[in-house]
Structure formats: C-alpha cells, structure tokens
Amino acid sequence: MRARALHADALVITSAVMHLNCVLLRGAAAPAAPSQAATIEVIEVPGSSTAPVGESFLIDCPALPDELAMLPSLLEQARFPPLSGLLATHADWDHLLGPLAFPGAPLGCAESSARRLAATPGEAQRRLREFDEGLYLERERPLALRAPEPLPVPGHLEIGASEVELHQAEGHTGDGMAIWAPWAGVLVAGDYLSSIEIPTLGPGGSTDSYILTLQRLRPLVALAAHVVPGHGPVLDSSAALELLDQDLAYLADLAENGARAELPDGRRSREQRRLHACNVAALSA
C-alpha cells in the first residue's frame, strides 16, 4: 500500500492489488500541512501539529486485509479527525470494503447505489469471497454492510467547514457518483478516467450513459489539480482531459462498430482485449 498527500486535506491511498485507489478527505479550516506530495511505502504522512478538528471521510477503500487494518493508524498519523463516515462512489464490491476497517461507521452512497445494493443483497460479500479465495486470503471478520445512507445526486455534502459536490456518474454501471472537493482541487472519479483500463460496462452500464458522464465531468476535470480514478495513477488536469477524449472516442467506436472498435493507445494488452470482449457482449445482452 502507498499513501500520497495530494493536499493538506486529501490523501490518496493505493492498494497493492488492482491499483485500487481510495481517498482520505478532511474538511476543516485546519492549519495547512506541507504540500509536497511524496509517495511513501511506510506510512509517513505530513500533518498539522495542532489537535485534529473537523470531520474526515474515507472515499472508497483498499482491498487487502493488512491495508484495511492500517487505515485507522494512518488517519491518526496524518492527524486527521476521527472518521465521520464512509463514502462509496458506486456499489461494485471493491469499493465497499470500508466497514472492514471502520466497523460501525455510516456508509453513504448515491441513491442509485443504495437501490442497487438493496436489489442485490449479498452480492458484494459473494464477490469478496471469490476474490479472497483466489488469493488465499483470510479476514478477521466478514463484510457487514448495513443499509447505506442514500445521498441525493447531484447534491452537496458538508464535511466540517467544507463542502463536497456529488455528481451523477453512471455508465460504467447503472449507479454511482463522482465526488468533487473544490478547496483541495481533488476529483474522485470512481471507475472512470483510468489510464490503465479501458472504459468497461458493468451491471446496468451503457455507452450512452458513460458518454454523458464523461461530458458531465469535463468541466470538473478542467478545474482539478488531481483526478483520482478508481483504478490507476492519479492524473493532473491535462492528462485527464486527454484521456477523457480517448475514452469518448473508444465508446463512440464501440457503440457503432462493436468488436471492431479500436482500443485506446497504451490500453491494448490481453486483459484489455478481454474487457473489450466483455463490453461487446454487454451491448448485445
């Protein structure tokens, strides 16, 4: 696991598997920490020398048991306030593991994600078991997902003295939201804008909705200092805008030409071709 400071109030944590990203976000008028963003292997996160004030939220989560176990101590080392809640960008299983690190913390998600979870009880736990069995992992306790707090999207959510914007993000799946923290210049995009993975169509996803989401996110990407995808390296605004145009071109080609669509440059590996085949199958489902 790696942790990197994007801003005094925003840390991105990257799992050792799936290049899965999550963000610890503080909303408070706290004294600024050093702004150097350095990647670290042993958790050493710059923080304020004053007592932590305000609120903190964890957006999405890492995947491995040891990584989840480290999150509470990371929060303390960064001198962030105790966690106020968890946020999930969408209801795919690998974005719902926060309760394993912070049992009892409330989970917030888009109303569309709350409906998806209610319609597929036990799905996240089943997918997690399959993941664990494939890697011979054991966990101290099973994933317990209480009924999440549905959040109106588009909308706003107060975090301490700050406020994040919640933006509709559907197309990868039929549910989801992107989270924009304007004071930190950080856009948490969910499973969009990945430089290592082509756009993929999961449960309820569609090319039309995906394209609308990318168009909706474009103004935020243009403003962002950092764009955090669900999987893959954090991007600056310029790189994310270039990737957004590549993804739009692929999706339009996929909708028109199906299997003959050309994959984006740099994303043509065997795994990406497999995902492309899944997209083609999803179009005809």
Q: What is the Cα–Cα distance from 226 to 185, expressed in whole angstroms? A: 6
Beta strands in 145-225 (DSSP E): 149-151, 155-159, 162-168, 177-181, 186-190
Fold of domain 2-284: Metallo-beta-lactamase; Chain A (3.60.15)
Mark out the alpha helices in the chain (DSSP H runs): 65-77, 98-101, 111-119, 123-135, 207-223, 237-257, 270-284
Report the length, in residues, of the chain: 285
Whether the Cβ atoms of residue 210 and residue 199 lie closer than 8 Å to each other: yes
Task: Give domain limits for the chain.
Answer: 2-284
Provide the whole-model pTM.
0.91
Per-residue pLDDT of the chain (285 residues; tens, 9 = 90+): 999 999 999 999 999 999 999 999 999 654 444 333 333 233 334 444 455 668 999 999 999 999 999 999 999 999 999 999 999 999 999 999 999 999 999 999 999 999 999 999 999 999 999 999 999 999 999 999 999 999 999 999 999 889 999 999 999 999 999 999 999 999 999 999 999 999 999 999 999 999 999 999 999 999 999 999 999 999 999 999 999 999 999 999 999 999 999 999 999 999 999 999 999 999 988
228-265 burial, b for 16+ CB within 10 Å, e for fewer? bbbbbebbebeebbebbebbbebbebbbeeeeebebbe
